[in-house]
A and B are shown apart, each in its own frame.
Chain A
Amino acid sequence: MFQKLIAESTAKSPWLFHINSGSCNGCDIELVAILTPRYDVERLGFKLAGSPRQADIVVVTGPVTKQSLNRVLSTISQVPEPRCIVTMGSCPQSGNVFKGSYSVCAPLSQYVHVDVDIAGCAPKPEAIIDGLAKATKILKEKRGRM
């Protein structure tokens, strides 16, 4: 009975963990913006988690620099399954304007499975909310399969 209650509650409130993999800070600012009273995603249950071990959704920003690659991957591996990996902005999806640089390892999708891509540079806060809503849906499906 408690298990069911916990499952239902976690489905309603996915926790986010944000990884900056060398982003220009544009995307990070927008991600923080959705937590402000203006957009207030906490009313939809999203909450920024302090540790990857407590997170359900991982949001990666930045073009995955060589320095950060191993740290990003080890942080993602600490997030318990079922998890949902969201890339935010053009950087982790393709490298964006940093494409071809000697120090950039993007796209992230060649190292881990990415569930949702939010396009934009930086994405509008509303687009981030859309993307997180999609991620929640995918998370629910993954839970159902477990």
Chain B
Amino acid sequence: MDFPFVREAVVKLFSRPSCNNYPFTPREAAPNYRGRIVFHPETCINCNMCERVCAGGAIIHTSVKNEEGDDVITRSFDLGSCTFCSTCADFCTRHSIELTQDYHMIGIEEGDLIVSGTFIKKKPAPKPAPKPAAPAAAKEEAAAPAAPAVKPRGDGKPAQDPDKCVYCTICARKCPGEALTVDRKEKTWKLDEDKCVACGTCADVCPKNAIVI
């Protein structure tokens, strides 16, 4: 009589078990595993890009005014609604979102699966007078044919070079704060200073490099 696999059976009887004995031997996730989200509120500028790209609708933020009139912004990530696609982290221009290798995500009580962070966004109000003047000056300077290129404004907000700009409207469509109005027919490019959060997305997406930050 022929007994197949007898050799294998005997060899396996004395070899190490293939079981990795998990709860007793802790295991690390593979490199680049996308687990628990860690949010760094210090660097977040509240551009809301992450909320717009999140497929699972896992990100929300609340904003309340404190006594000084600054916005206290709390952004929370619901891990129970997240697909761990890492799109939010990829789109965050400030690298405020990190998907860690921690996979122990068990929720028993409400809030166990919520990751959140709070930061204060200072009111930009103190000097309202020079503000409207500055972009007008910048525009005049840019509009003058002699000006070789636009100078960066220095405050992180975008300035447009009308010589390079083709009014494609990509920046306006990509702006997470909806701060840009670009009209193709009228050939105008307008920035809403109050809505702009100086994220730099417009400069990144401009195919003509017509925006300087």
Contact = CB atoms under 8 A, between A and B. Distances in A.
B106 A130 contact: yes
A99 interface: yes
Interface residues of B, number: 29
B19 A96 contact: no
Interface in B101-146: 103-108, 112-113
Interface string B65-89: 0000000000000111111100000
A20 B35 CA distance: 23
Contact of A38 (B20, B80, B82, B106): B20
Question: Looking at A117, A118, A134, which has the most chain B CB atoms within 10 Å of its CB?
Answer: A117
B18 interface: yes
Interface stretch (B21-29, B90-98, B186-194): B21-29
Contacts of A44: 23
A134 B107 CA distance: 10
Interface string A111-136: 00001111111011111011101100
A7 B69 CA distance: 61
Contact of A119 (B27, B29, B113): B113
Interface in B1-39: 17-20, 22-23, 27, 29, 33, 35
Interface string A25-65: 00000000000011110011000000000000000000000
16 contacts: A37-B18, A38-B19, A39-B19, A90-B56, A90-B82, A93-B81, A94-B80, A95-B81, A116-B108, A117-B80, A117-B106, A118-B107, A120-B103, A124-B35, A130-B23, A130-B106
Interface of B: 17-20, 22-23, 27, 29, 33, 35, 55-58, 78-84, 103-108, 112-113
Given A43-B19, A44-B23, A126-B103, 10 more contacts: A90-B82, A93-B81, A95-B81, A96-B81, A96-B82, A97-B55, A117-B106, A119-B106, A121-B82, A131-B106
